Amino acid sequence: MGWDKGVKFDKAYKLITSHIKYLKTELKYARYRKRLLKFLGYDYILLITLTNGCRISEALEAFNIFLRSGKRELEIRVKKKKKEAYRLIIIPKSIPDYDRKLIKDLHFERTAVSHYAAKTYGLNPHTLRYAFITELGRQHVNPAIIAAITQHSKLDMILKYTRKKTAEEILREIVNSL
């Protein structure tokens, strides 16, 4: 199964975006509007985590800044670094500005997003970061570039993982082509 828990980037993206569509439909009829808006925000934070390969705390910080400012490209302080470092996080276009205005007054916390991800999707949000890394590896992105994007301090982890995934895929192609 590996470090990405077998979660595929494209399937995770479709799952989260389809849930967002469902929530938007429910918002039209719901009595629990504030709760559904909160869920919508959680899904957007998970989407940022998935599409940027960032930690949940970084996605949360980027989302909160986006809610206040509307900026879609943000330099966010990297968590888990001894030295102060920043990384680019881009808010996906699938998060519309009009939704930003609906949920800008709500407060979002990391633990609540993690609990929501576990309950709604059965996964740890960090799995989405790994799914992003796996997808870049499948696209044959240089591991040094992957490390730069995700702000991994140790390239050897990404090298070991992407090599293993690539080797497994090549073996499957060979065996399945017979």
Cβ atoms of residues 104 and 67 within 8 Å: yes
- What contacts 27, CB < 8 A, 6 or more positions away? 33, 36, 37, 40
Look at residue 126 and tell me whether its pLDDT is greater than 60: yes
For residue 169, what pLDDT band results from cuts at 50, 70 and 90?
confident
Measured in degrees and rounded to the nearest 5, phi and psi for residue 12 equal -65, -40
Q: Catalytic residue positions?
A: 55, 80, 126, 129, 152, 161
Q: Domain tally for the chain?
A: 1
Its domain, for residue 52, covers 9-176
For 90-110, write each residue's pLDDT tens digit.
999 999 988 888 898 888 999
With pLDDT > 70 as the criterion, what percentage of the chain qualifies? Answer: 95
In this structure, what CATH number is given to the domain that contains residue 69? 1.10.443
Amino acid at 65: I
Task: Identify whether 113 is part of a domain.
Answer: yes
Give the per-residue pLDDT at 32. Answer: 85
For 45-69, write each residue's pLDDT tens digit.
999 999 999 999 999 999 999 999 9
Task: Identify whether 2 is part of a domain.
Answer: no
Task: Identify whether 22 is part of a domain.
Answer: yes
Question: Quick one: tokens of 131?
Answer: 């799914």
Cβ atoms of residues 146 and 162 within 8 Å: yes
